[in-house]
Structure 1
Amino acid sequence: MSMLSHHIELNGQPYHYLGAGKSGAPVLLFLHGFPEYSGAWADLAPRFSHEYHCIAPDQRGYGQSWAPAEVAEYHVTKLVGDLCALLDHLGAEQATVVGHDWGAAVAYALAFMAPDRVRQLVILNGVHPFPFQRAMAAGGAQTDASQYIHTLKRDGAEDWLAANDFEKLQQLFAAKMDQSWLSGDRLEAYKTEWARPGRLRGMVNWYRASPLKLGGPGERIKDIPEIPLDRVRIKMPHLLIWGPDDRALLPEATEGLEELCDNLTRVEIPGTDHWIIHQNPDAVERIMKDWLSL
C-alpha cells in the first residue's frame, strides 16, 4: 500500500504529511530526522497500515511543511506543539510514536512534555537528550563524533550544504556508514525536497535552536545544567532498536537510559548503522510488530 499525501494547516501554517491505513484506527506516528523528510518512511510505515492509521509528517522546516527562517521557531516546545496539533487534527488523543535521529529527540520530548499523548514509544537510532548531553560533554568518543554539529550551526551552513548539487549534504549522510540505499530515483526525490526554498535553513535551524552543549574535540564540559530526572522520565512502554555500526550516535549516548524509563526494551540489528530503517526494514518491521503485540 502506498501512502497518500495530505496538505493541511496547523495553527494557521501549511503542514504536510503522508498517510496510510484507516482513519479512526490507532495512530502510528512516524517522525523523520535530518536530513530526511516524510518519504523516509514510505517503505516501512505502510507495513503497519492494516492495524494502524500510519502518519508520517514533514516536520517543521522540512519538505512541504512550513519552514520559518527564524531560529527561535525551532525551539522544542514549538516542535512538540506541532505534533500535538497534528494529533488534534487527526482526532487522536494518543499515538504510538516512532522516531529516528532528530525525530527521536522530538518523540522523547513529546513523551515527557505531553505523556498523555504517547501510548508507546519506539526509537530507532535516536537518543534521549539527557544521556546524549552527558556523553557529548564527557570529552570522549561521542564528543568527537558530534563535531559536525558545530559546522551545521555556522552562519551560511545551508549554502555550504547545497553547493555542488548538495555534495556536502550527501557526505554527511555517508559519514563512514552505508549509503548504498540512497541512489537513483530515491536520491533525486531527496534532492527535490532539499531544494525547496528555505528548507535547508529550516533543517539546520533545528541544530541552531538546540540547547545542548558541545565543546571542541576532546573537550570536557562541566557546567551542564541540572535537570530533575522526573521531568525527563519516560513512563510509557519504550522500545529502542539500534544499529550498532552507527558512527554519529555511539553506544555511550544511550548509557543510563534504563534509569530514565519505567519499561525499556533494547534490540540490536547486526549489520546496520544510523540508517537502519533503510538498511533492514524487514527486521525493523518484525521487531516492532512483535513488541507492539505484547
Structure 2
Amino acid sequence: MDTKTIELNGQPFMLRSWGRPDLPPLLMLHGFPEYGGAWGDLAPHLAARFHCLAPDQRGYGQSWAPDGVGNYALSHLVSDMAALAEQFDAPLCVLGHDWGASVAYGLAMFRPDLVSRLIIANGVHPVPFQRAMAAGGAQSAASQYINALRASDAVVRFSADNFALLEQFFRHGMGVDWLSEDRMQTYRTEWARPGRLQAMLNWYRASPLVVAEPGVPRTDLPELPLDRLMVRCPHLLLWGLEDKALLPESTAGLETFAPDLTRVEIPGTDHWLHHQKPEAVAQAILDWLAT
C-alpha cells in the first residue's frame, strides 16, 4: 500500500493505493464510520487487476474536514471524488460501500462521463431507500439509529469513554470477528482526530432523507428528481443478507433506476462483507467484469 496527500478542489485529501499505477483505476469509497484504510482487506485481492484508489473522504481520517453541516451535502462529496477521478484515467470503475455507495451513486448519476462501471457493496440508491425508510415498516425500524447520529449531543455521546458507544454501534448485530482490538484501536485513532467525529456525523445531518417512526408512515418526503437519478452504466450490487441496518427492501425497485443491474449475494456476510469475505467479494467483482 502507498499513501500520499493530494489536492482536490484546492483542499488536502489522504489517498491510499494498491496495485501498479499503469493498471486501470478502481475508485474505492468507504462509508461510516470507516476511512480509506478500511479497504485494506479487499484491495490486495484486486490489485493484480486494478490500481486501487482509496481516499479518506471529506471529514474522515486525514482528509479535509471543514466546519458546518452544509459542507457535507452530497453535491460537495461528489465534487470531491469527481476531482479525484479527473486526475486518473476516467471514465473509471467505482466501488462504494455504505455512505461511500451514496457518493458512488452520485458520481454515476450526475457525472456519468467519469464512471464506466458501478459496484455497490451493501449500499443504497436514494429512491428505493427513501421509500423503504418512509413506509414505517422494517427498514424504518432498522434506520432509527440515524436519528441518534443526527442528534445535537451525538458527538459527546459517541465519543465518551474512548468512543465506547460508537464501537458498540460498529459491533451491534453484526458479525465482526474481523474487528480485532488492534484494528479497533486504529479506528479510534482516526475518530479522535480533531473535528473528525463531528464531520462524520454531518454526513447524516446534511442528508435530506426522512426516517419514519415504526408504524407511522411519512408522506412529507424530499423532492427527488427521478429522471436525473438513473444509473446508465453497468451496475453490480453485492449484498450481505445478514445486514441489520440495510434490509433487502431498501433496494426494491432498483432496476427501475439501473436497467443494467446484476445482483450477487455473498453468503455468510452482513454489512461488513468486504472485511468478512474479501476473497469472495473480489471474485464476484472479477467474474462480473469478465461477462
Q: Does TM, scored on the shorter chain, surpass 0.5?
A: yes
Moved more, 181-190 or 104-113: 181-190
Question: Which string of whole-angstrom CA distances, capped at 9 and with x for unpartnered residues, describes residues 161-215 of structure 1?
Answer: 1111111101111221112211222111111101111110110000000010113
1:134 to 2:127 alignment:
no
**Is residue 176 of structure 2 the alignment partner of residue 185 of structure 1?**
no
- Out of 5, 8, 15, the position equivalent to 1:7 is 5
Runs of 4+ in 1 over 4 A off after TM superposition: none
Identity of aligned residues (%): 56
Match of 1:286 in 2: 283
Q: Which residue of 2 aligns with 1:64?
A: 62
Do 1:16 and 1:57's aligned partners in 2 also have CA atoms closer than 8 Å? yes
Aligned to 1:149: 146
Provide closer, same or farther for how the CA distance between residues 225 and 199 of structure 1 changes in structure 2, counting only shifts above 3 A: closer
| Structure 1 residue aligned with 2:213 | 216
In structure 2, how many angstroms separate the alpha carbons of the residues matched to 1:45 and 1:144?
A: 33
The superposition leaves residues 8-54 of structure 1 with CA deviations (integer Å, 9 ceiling, x where unpaired) of 12122110010122224211010000000011101211222222211
Alignment pair present for 1:275 and 2:272: yes
Give the conservation status (yes or no) of the 8 Å contact 1:27–1:94.
Answer: no
Amino acid aligned to 1:43 = D
2:37 paired with 1:39? yes
Amino acid paired to 2:156 = D
1:29, 1:224 → 2: CA distance? 31
Residues 84-132 of structure 1: CA deviation (Å, up to 9, x unaligned): 111223x322110001000011111111010111100111100001000
**What is the TM-score when the length of structure 2 is the normalising length?**
0.97
Partner of 2:229: 232
Of 39, 42, 53, 1:55 maps to 53
What does 1:244-263 align with in structure 2 at a 5 Å threshold? Answer: 244-263=241-260
Separation in structure 2 between the aligned mates of residue 9 and residue 122 of structure 1, nearest angstrom:
25
Paired AA for residue 270 in structure 2:
D
User: What do you get for the CA RMSD once the two structures are aligned?
Assistant: 1.2
| Counterpart pick for 2:121 among 124, 131, 135 | 124
1:8-27 to structure 2, matched below 5 A, reads: 8-27=6-25
Moved more, 185-194 or 120-129: 185-194
User: Could you tell me how far 1:218 is from its partner in structure 2?
Assistant: 2.3
Partner of 1:205: 202
Structure 1: segments with no counterpart, 5+ residues: none
For normalisation by structure 1, the TM-score amounts to 0.96
Out of 72, 96, 103, which is 1:106 matched to?
A: 103
**Structure 1 position 70, deviation (Å):** 0.7
Distance 2:212 2:66 in 1: 28
Distance 1:174 1:82 in 2: 29
1:76 matched residue in structure 2: 74
Query: Residues 228 and 66 of structure 1: is their aligned pair in 2 closer, same or farther, counting only changes over 3 Å?
Result: closer
- Aligned partner of residue 86 in structure 2, secondary structure: helix
Q: Which amino acid aligns with 2:41?
A: D
CA contact (8 A) 2:45 2:278 kept: no
Q: Aligned to 2:26, what secondary structure does the other structure show?
A: strand
Asked if the contact 1:246/1:273 (under 8 Å) is kept, the reply is: yes
- For residues 92 and 197 of structure 1, the distance between their equivalents in structure 2, rounded to whole angstroms, comes to 34
C-alpha offsets along residues 241-270 of structure 1, whole Å, 9 cap, x if unaligned? Answer: 100010000011000011111210001112
Aligned to 2:172: 175
Q: Distance in 2 between matches of 1:86 and 1:156?
A: 33
SS at match of 2:63: coil
Cα distance in structure 1, aligned partners of 2:92 and 2:196: 27
Q: Partner letter of residue 187 of structure 2?
A: Y
Pair 1:265 & 2:262 matched:
yes
CA contact (8 A) 2:36 2:54 kept: yes
| Matched residues, number | 291
| Inter-partner Cα distance in structure 2 for 1:179 and 1:62 | 21
Report if the CA contact (8 A) 1:241-1:268 is conserved.
yes
